[in-house]
Amino acid sequence: MPFIIAIDGPAASGKGTIARALAAHFGFHHLDTGLLYRATGAKGGDPVLAAQTLTSGDLNRSDLRSAEAGQAASRIAAIPEVRAALVDFQRRFAAQEPGAVLDGRDIGTVICPDAPLKLYVTASDRIRAARRAAELGADEAVMLAELQERDRRDSERATAPLKPAADAVVLDTSHLSIADAIARAIAEADRARQGPVIRTSPW
């Protein structure tokens, strides 16, 4: 039975970095599900058809990490037919042995609701904007406005809105180093892999 780690959270919260580190640490497969939506948006044309015909090769485009691709992904992710077309792709990926780490915005709530570990990675708006600005060499104020608009759109969409699963572990990386954030995530995964503690009466 593959062990699935579902990681959700807003842009620039650190979820991708944490997801890659967890996959490497445990020898699991990793999927940045945001790339599916970025690649679908980058293909252009009818987004539903683009999602239905998406291939693994489409995920290797060099322009998928741009701010423009991120905004396009957020817009098409609000289309129910697009999300439906990509659900099976993600669930098949999650079923791989020995385990998989998927990061996105609806992994714990929609794609893998039964995952034994769900993390919701977040950080303050200004810290996320500073991180994204440094990554892209962009203006921090512009990044803040774009992130807040994307957060609003992702959180308010009718289908699979961005929100933590009811049983998700919330990890705020605002004031954590990368190493500390990864260490906390690994500790949570170790606890989840050990399973629930069964307490017996001493009497």
Displacement of CA 110 from its chain's centroid (Å): 12
Question: Does 163 belong to an annotated binding site?
Answer: no
Question: Does 84 belong to an annotated binding site?
Answer: no
Question: Does 17 belong to an annotated binding site?
Answer: yes
Question: Does 15 belong to an annotated binding site?
Answer: yes
- Name residue 29's beta-bridge partners: 100
Question: Does 33 belong to an annotated binding site?
Answer: no
* Dihedral (CA of 179, 185, 187, 190) sign: negative
Question: Does 53 belong to an annotated binding site?
Answer: no
Phi, psi of 69 (to 5 degrees): -65, -35
* Dihedral (CA of 168, 93, 177, 129) sign: negative
CA distance 39 to 97: 25
Is the distance from CB of 8 to CB of 164 less than 8 angstroms?
yes
The pair of structure tokens assigned to 98 is 């020995």
CA distance 154 to 76: 10
* Binding site as annotated, residues for ATP: 9-17
* Binding site as annotated, residues: 9-17
